[in-house]
């Protein structure tokens, strides 16, 4: 059986594209299978691995969105992980949506949400008799341009500041819980210049390259 890698995330895992000039299928508002980082990761790792996409726009760590149901990763975690058992690695890249003004939270609380998610994942019978193996990826911080973008009101004035603090919070969560950690802010990734919070096509390729080099060492 191939090594199973589940990528749990939000729109930057689902492949949302706010700039139709940046993706081949612009009308879809989603990068295609030759552009999204999980698909590129599959190509980079090869046929000994199975990379499973589990991204959804708007997804949070643990917060229930009052405007749209079903967006908490915690609420879907068990069926998602059990559906793809046995897992060799769970990659979690979440937190950007948690910074929205309507959640009235801060980086510390979002970190606690990530920790709850990680601890729940460790307790789920999906690891095929092996120890739980997780990689927490701190998302690239939202850029200041969002504050004058079309999503400024939805995100609120504190989203940039909060998102900049997630890397350190997640690093501590990973350390406490025996998880691997990667800070996307260290990878030179780029956001589009429309909403300043979604990865460009080039950034998807860059993230896939970094993960394809890293992951084999996490599965020894």
Instruction: Please provide the size of the chain in residues.
Output: 220
pLDDT tens digit string along 165-191?
A: 999 999 999 999 999 999 999 999 999
pTM, whole model, 2 decimals? 0.96
Token pair for 122: 């460790």
The conformation of residue 106, written as its DSSP 8-state character, comes to: -
Report the pLDDT value the prediction gives residue 34, as an integer from 0 to 100.
Answer: 96
Checking phi first, is residue 120 left (phi over 0); if not, alpha (psi -120 to 50) or beta? Answer: alpha
From the CB of residue 207, how many other CB atoms can be counted at a distance below 10 Å? 25
**Mean pLDDT of all residues in 50-68:** 97
Beta bridge partners of 7: 53, 91
pLDDT tens digit string along 189-217?
A: 999 999 999 999 999 999 999 999 999 99
Beta bridge partners of 49: 3
**Taking a C-beta distance cutoff of 8 angstroms, is the pair 6, 78 a contact?**
no
Domains delineated in the chain: 3-218 (3.40.50.1110)
């Amino acid at each position: 059986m191939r090594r199973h890698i589940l990528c749990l995330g939000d729109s930057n895992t689902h492949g949302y594209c706010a700039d139709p000039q940046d993706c081949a299928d612009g009308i879809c508002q989603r990068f295609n299978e030759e552009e999204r980082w999980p698909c590129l990761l599959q190509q980079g790792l090869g046929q000994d691995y199975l990379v499973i996409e589990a991204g959804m726009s708007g997804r949070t760590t643990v917060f229930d969105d009052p405007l749209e149901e079903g967006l908490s990763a915690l609420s879907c975690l068990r069926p998602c992980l059990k559906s793809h058992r046995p897992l060799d690695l769970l990659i979690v890249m979440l937190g950007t949506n948690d910074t929205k003004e309507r959640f009235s939270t801060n980086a510390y609380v979002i970190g606690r949400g990530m920790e709850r998610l990680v601890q729940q994942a460790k307790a789920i019978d999906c690891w095929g008799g092996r120890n739980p193996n997780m990689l927490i990826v701190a998302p690239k911080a939202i850029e200041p341009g969002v504050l004058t973008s079309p999503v400024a009101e939805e995100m609120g004035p504190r989203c940039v500041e909060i998102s900049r603090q997630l890397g350190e919070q997640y690093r501590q969560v990973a350390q406490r819980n025996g998880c691997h950690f990667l800070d996307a802010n260290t990878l030179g990734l780029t956001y589009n210049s429309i909403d300043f919070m979604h990865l460009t096509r080039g950034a998807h390729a860059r993230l896939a390259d970094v993960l394809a080099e890293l992951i084999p060492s996490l599965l020894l």
